[in-house]
Structure 1
Amino acid sequence: MNILIVDDEPDSLLEIGAYLNKFGRFDTYELCSNPLEALEKAKQSPFQVALLDIEMPEMNGLDLAEKLLALYPQIGVAFITAYNHYATEAFEVNAIDYILKPIREERLFKALDKMKAKLDEFHVPKEDIPVVPVNRDTLTITMFGKFAIRMGDHLIKWNRQKAAELFAYLLDKKEQPVHKEKLCELLWPDSDPQKALVNLQTSIHAIRKTFLIRYADHLSIEYSGNSYMLRLKDVIIDVEQFEDLIKKAEESHDRAFLEQAVSLYGGDYLEEDGWHWAEAKKVWLQRKYLAAVQELKRNKKSS
């Protein structure tokens, strides 16, 4: 494994480098005192493990971790810091470990072994990976009726229903940052704040585990400013298609667009999932659908 170490304190960097030489179970390591320089190095050459200080000038370790995870979703991240009050934020960005300074050799080795074990989980022999059917490059999301995600003909299954609801909500707010406190209040209203935050972190981890191993080309979850944001690429979403067709019909007065939009409406928005936050959009889309049906009926009578 290739290891990236980022710390703005030269003595700390040298100490970690000396420990790594004793550890020995790696391919190469890179020492960086500047987080921006480290990010550029990561763009040029992949790393499997990152050991990051948290408090650094120009970019802190938490933000750097998010950017590294965006580049390499499977990278193992551990934070090395003199402060223990960052622990919660560290695990929000999917950190595997959190090491307090002064660093003890055995503690660092334990963290490295832990990260190596995590990385080994991702490198499953090819014969043990279930074959996803054809059309692997087409990720489709259904939001009319029941929420479902497919890669080609393969239905992606959720181990945690709250993770599915969290993903659906971030999708509903696509490419808009949503503050972690709002997510906690929305999805775990009856839990105390600390428990809700743990639930949120667990669900984020479940989403990343479900998608980012196989589908990293299509989506990412960014964390910045205490907020999460979902980004998608080359994804087909039935609701977006419906809205686009309705808009085209309104602009062109072409009934063909209305017919296509009506054919996409496979039930009310997320109606089978019963998520209360979806109610307003469900009503709005329902009105658009009924208006389209009425317009098609009028066109049929007048023709």
Structure 2
Amino acid sequence: MKIQRSMGEKIFDFFNILLLSLFGLLCLYPIIYITAMSFSDSWAILEGKVWLYPVGFHLDAYEIVFSDGNILRSYLNTIIYTTVGTLFNLTVVTCAAYPLSKKRLKGKHFFSLYFVFTILFSGGLVPTFLVVQKLGFYNTIWAVTVPGAMSVFYMIILRTNFEQVPDALEEAAVIDGMSDFGIMTKIYMPLSKPIYAALTLFFAIGHWNSFFNAFIYLQDKSKFPLQVILKEIVIANTMNDLGTSAVGSSAMEATKLLSENLKCATIIVVMLPIMAVYPFVQKHFVKGMMIGAVKG
């Protein structure tokens, strides 16, 4: 049976769809604009002709990106840091969330407050830097993966998800002689695949976009992730702007234009992996977050 909708509901739906469509376009336009600039002619960018589509289509910027040894090496570094860091994150939050989800854990309330305290207060940048340096992590992969391995916020979400697993499953496993580690890996984790898919996406995006830790703790340029290289391109473009305004030379103008193309092409290359992976985990995304965030 078709439900009759009132005029007020139809008007609300119309403006709701209109506003959401406009908001979606506002979010999508920067990506369209950067993509168009990365494929456009340098002089067309200077003259302000690029808005929605490439003008003077060419692939010079992408040829530079994929032929530059520093960019390719930093791309590989970013993939390694993201993979290792995400595995660290998932391991640490799982090992913390599982025991804290147990009512039989003595001092559960104290340990929960202990973890929450770290959300409100931290040691600060300088003490953290000194700890990383004393541990021998400075200028190594561990400097960008270990310090942020524990995320209390996502640990709480995972703990709430574990608390919803029926106790009868654990009791049956104990009767069969299964250890706590076996219960965690063979019962709790398989039943929590949606939340793990969501957490994996969150952690991977965080590491993929991470810039500050690598900028602070890495000194060797061969270990830089792609975001630090992109920062150098942006800074070089800014310096070219200053040089062009002060000197006005055609050489500086050409360098500026090339940097603008290269910056946009690098941004697109950085975004592509996340944009390619997200559609495959989207079906688990909302479900996983809702399961882990609502109790009962």
Q: TM-score range by the shorter chain?
A: under 0.3
Decide which structure has greater helix share. Answer: 2
TM-score normalised according to structure 2 size:
0.26
TM-score normalised according to structure 1 size:
0.25
- The structure showing larger relative contact order (alpha-carbon pairs under 8 Å, at least 6 residues apart) is 2
Which structure would you say has the larger Rg? 2
